[in-house]
């Protein structure tokens, strides 16, 4: 909890600096790349969080990996955090920067879970529903496939969930049948 509070302050600062320097899109791409690196490489994530590895060594590794590959502003925040011995916050900052970017740009993130891959027409209809629910102009739709749903879909938009899956309807029916009021107990 404390880490996310501290990270959110760095995210806000980085976002405002990126906007001020007209580098928002590039910094966003850099943060997404950093976030992917943390998800793909468990060793990289462990190195950042390790209290055993010295901060100077972490700084050298990060400079070797990212110098010339990321925007100078992104490299500056990485170096700043390493100097302050806060490199364990980098994965959280990289992940949360995407959320802050979406908020700044007015993009609503939504997750659609179905039993099959959705075509572009249906995807457009779902995005229209999300726009109505959220009053945002753009939608970032993440698709997940879950064969256990049997059919239908589950749509998550912010803190709302629309569950129109067959699995959910069957579960509701099972509960209703178990509460049969017409069977007289002996």
Residues 3-25 pLDDT 10s: 788 999 999 999 999 999 999 99
For residues 140 and 94, state if they share a domain: no
Radius of gyration of the chain (CA): 22
For residues 6 and 82, state if they share a domain: yes
Look at residue 186 and tell me if it is in a domain.
Answer: no
Q: What is the mean pLDDT of residues 97-115?
A: 95
For residues 65 and 114, state if they share a domain: no
Please report, for the domain that includes residue 57, its CATH number: 1.10.520.20
Contact 137, 168 (CB under 8 A): no
Task: Report whether pLDDT(170) > 80.
Answer: yes
For residues 46 and 111, state if they share a domain: no
With vertex at residue 36, the alpha carbon angle to CA 35 and CA 41, rounded to the nearest 5 degrees, is 105
Q: Quote the tokens at residue 165.
A: 């899956």
Report the number of distinct structural domains present in the chain: 2
Look at residue 183 and tell me if it is in a domain.
Answer: no
pLDDT band, very low/low/confident/very high, at 183 (cuts 50, 70, 90): low
For residues 24 and 89, state if they share a domain: yes
**Mean pLDDT, the chain, as a whole number?**
92
| Ranges assigned E (strand) in 58-120 | 107-114
By residue range, what is the domain housing residue 78? 2-103
For residues 73 and 16, state if they share a domain: yes
Q: What is the mean pLDDT of residues 129-135?
A: 90
- Examine the fold and report which residue of 74, 103, 132 is the final residue of a domain before the chain moves on: 103
pLDDT band, very low/low/confident/very high, at 186 (cuts 50, 70, 90): low
For residues 88 and 12, state if they share a domain: yes
Q: What is the mean pLDDT of residues 29-48?
A: 96
Look at residue 185 and tell me if it is in a domain.
Answer: no
| Residue pointed to by tokens 């994530």 | 45
């Amino acid at each position: 909890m404390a880490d996310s509070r501290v990270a959110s302050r760095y995210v806000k600062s980085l976002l405002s600096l990126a906007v001020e320097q007209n580098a928002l899109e590039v910094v966003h791409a850099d943060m997404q790349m950093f976030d992917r690196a943390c998800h793909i490489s468990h060793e990289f994530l462990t190195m950042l969080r390790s209290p055993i590895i010295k901060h100077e060594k972490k700084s050298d590794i990060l400079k070797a990996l990212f110098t010339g590959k990321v925007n100078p502003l992104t490299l500056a925040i990485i170096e700043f955090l390493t100097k302050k011995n806060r490199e364990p916050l980098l994965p959280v900052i990289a992940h949360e920067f995407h959320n802050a970017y979406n908020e700044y740009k007015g993009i609503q993130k939504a997750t659609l879970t179905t039993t099959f891959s959705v075509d572009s027409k249906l995807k457009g209809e779902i995005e229209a529903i999300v726009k109505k629910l959220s009053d945002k102009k753009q939608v970032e739709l993440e698709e997940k496939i879950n064969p256990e749903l049997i059919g239908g879909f589950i749509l998550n938009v912010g803190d709302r969930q629309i569950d129109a899956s067959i699995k959910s309807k069957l579960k509701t029916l099972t509960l209703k049948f178990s509460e049969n009021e017409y069977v007289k107990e002996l």
